[in-house]
Amino acid sequence: MLLSVITCTINLDALSKNKLSQIFSHFHQEYSNFLTPLLIVNQGKLATTDFFQQSQDKFTVFNQNNFGGTGGFTRGILEARKIGATHILLMDDDAVPDENSFEKTLKYYLENEERMEALGGTRFSSEDPEKIHEAGAWVKPENFTIVKRLAGHKISTKREKIEDDLALHQNMNIDYGAWWFFACPMRAVEKVGLPLPLFIHRDDSEYGLRLKKAGIPTIPLPGLRIWHPESGNALKQWYAFFSRRNALIEKALHTNVSTPRLAFELAIKYFYYLLGFQYDNVDFLAKGILAYLKGPEALEKNPRTDFENSRMLMGKWPITLSSFDSETMKEMSEKTNPLWKEIMFVFLLNGLLFPAKREKDGKFPIFTHADNICFLVYRHSVYGVGSKSINMVKIYRRKPKALFKMTANACWTVLFFLVRNPIIKKRWRKNFPKLTTPAFWENYLGL
């Protein structure tokens, strides 16, 4: 057995100082007979230090243009394949594994070398080290929701080992394990193909669903503990285009949900975005739908154009940012409401109902829509979306002209999706395998 650990980065200097490099170095010293060097795909600036050059037996760096997380990991898989690796382990460059996680992964495959199983790690928050962020996940087929297994569960400090927590042994039939720590046999890659060139977002969930469909389960192995910082990019959202487009690709390939049902789900998303003055999200969703409807051939081009267009689209909707002190953000994060109250406050927030009450009270209670997103009303027709991880708030304002234009855009793309999706879905299912071959990826990456 030969295991290749793979990571990709845009900052080699930062990676050289990361605990990931130190932990792998110690791991390699003890188990070098079963390991290749850490395969690092650099998609950013060249290193200014020679840290990795001094330890070439433990680290191998490959430089290439930025093809996103998917392109970085896939390049690593191709290189692992060339040197005869029998198993691969994908890791984010900013993830910090427990010192035993590498060892447990290796020993699991040494003891079960013939079994075709993937392994997923349990992600803990760097900000709250005992709190699970995700231990595997499920993709709801009827909509665009990701259900995170054991999200919010706290490991008991009374237990000597993480794997002693009984909750980690329940509901283990997950759809996928995220690529902050994901391992699988190379034989599984040979069976289902390489990842799709999705740049970022939903690449791991699509691949997990593909493995599951082929009869290769992903096991959230108790004891694989990884710390990962909360995402502070929630306020940037340049990647939203990829998230929207890739979710539709995933639906086309792995679900049998009807086109009218998906169109209804898209319309619901549009409704809430428009209700909350989030015209940028409306635009990102519309562009994502249209990109999906171009079919699989559109993925064959260099992703740089899509990347630059998504950044330009973000610049099209400039949104004021302001900072909050940590106590205010903590207060915001602790206040949540049931769904019916969230809906009620959305209407109040936008002044569509009871505007007199809004003016009188000045501001309304805070409510949450996701793990790290909070809403706070300041005054009439203005509110903020805050990130707990970076204590920043993005201010949204009602804009009548933009509301009219984006509503028309939303209606058009939903109708276009209704007409085109039955045809495009068949094209995706028929033609996507050629995008997962080594020959395609070598040409795509310019190797």
* 10: helix, strand or coil: strand
Q: What angle do CA 53, 54, 59 make, to 5 degrees?
A: 60
Q: What are the C-alpha distances in Å from 5 to residues 71, 73, 102, 237? A: 16, 10, 9, 29
For residue 380, pLDDT beyond 50: no
Residues 329 and 406 in one domain: yes
Bridge-based pairing of strands 122-125 and 225-228 is parallel
Q: How confident is the model at residue 296 (pLDDT cuts 50, 70, 90)?
A: very high
Q: What percent of the chain has pLDDT over 90?
A: 62
Same domain, 182 and 293: no
Alpha-helical (H) ranges within 350-399 are: 355-361
- Report which of 392, 419, 407 is spatially closest to residue 328, judged by C-alpha positions: 392
- The neighbouring-strand residues paired with 225 are 122
Q: Which of 144-158, 174-188, 344-358, 383-397 is predicted with the least confidence, judged by mean pLDDT?
A: 344-358
Least confident interval from 16-30, 52-66, 393-407, 408-422:
393-407
112 phi, psi to nearest 5 deg: -130, 45
The pLDDT of residue 368 is 32
Instruction: Check whether residue 195 and residue 276 sit in a common domain.
Output: no
- Residue 263: count of CB within 10 angstroms of its CB: 19
Query: Is residue 186 located within the same domain as residue 43?
Result: yes
pTM: 0.88
Contact 337, 365 (CB under 8 A): yes
Q: Are residues 276 and 382 in the same domain?
A: yes
Summary mean pLDDT of the chain:
85
pLDDT band at 273 (very low <50, low <70, confident <90, very high): confident
- Extended strands (E) in 64-217: 87-91, 96-97, 118-120, 122-125, 132-134, 137-139, 146-148, 181-185
Does 106 lie in the same domain as 14?
yes
Amino acid at 199: F
Containing structural domain, residue 140 = 3-230
Is 80 exceeded by the pLDDT of residue 55? yes
Same domain for 277 and 202: no
Q: Give DSSP secondary structure letters for 144-158.
A: S-EEETTTT-B--TT
The closest alpha carbon to 69, from 125, 124, 9, 156, belongs to 9
pLDDT interval class at 292 (50, 70, 90):
very high
340: part of which helix (H) or strand (E)?
helix 339-349
Same-domain status, 93 and 214: yes
Are 221 and 266 contained in the same domain?
no
The least confident of 222-231, 258-267, 377-386 is 377-386
45/100 same-domain check: yes
Same domain, 79 and 208: yes
Please determine, for residue 333, whether its predicted confidence score (pLDDT) is greater than 60: no
Q: Judge whether residue 357 has pLDDT over 60.
A: no
Domain-terminating residue out of 203, 230, 257: 230
Q: Tell me, yes or no, whether 7 and 131 share the same domain.
A: yes
Q: What is the mean pLDDT of residues 64-76?
A: 97
- The pLDDT value recorded for residue 43 is 96
Q: How far is Cα 265 from Cα 241, in angstroms, rounded to an integer?
A: 17
- In this prediction, residue 365 carries a pLDDT of 33
Specify the number of domains making up the chain.
2
pLDDT band of residue 360 (cuts 50, 70, 90) is: very low
The residue-averaged pLDDT of 419-425 equals 97
Whole-angstrom distance, CA of residue 400 vs CA of residue 165 = 53
More confident residue, 107 or 152: 107
Whether residue 398 has pLDDT greater than 60: yes
Give φ, ψ of 446 to 5 degrees. 70, 35
Q: In this model, does residue 397 exceed pLDDT 80?
A: no
Among candidate residues 172, 200, 230, the one where a domain is terminated: 230
DSSP β-bridge partners for residue 183: 89, 119
CB contact at 8 A, 388 and 372: yes
Select from 168, 199, 230 the last residue of a domain: 230
Contacts of 343 by beta carbon, 8 Å cutoff, 6+ apart = none
Q: What is the CATH number of the domain that holds 216?
A: 3.90.550.60
Q: Which of 110-114, 145-149, 191-195 has the highest mean pLDDT?
A: 191-195
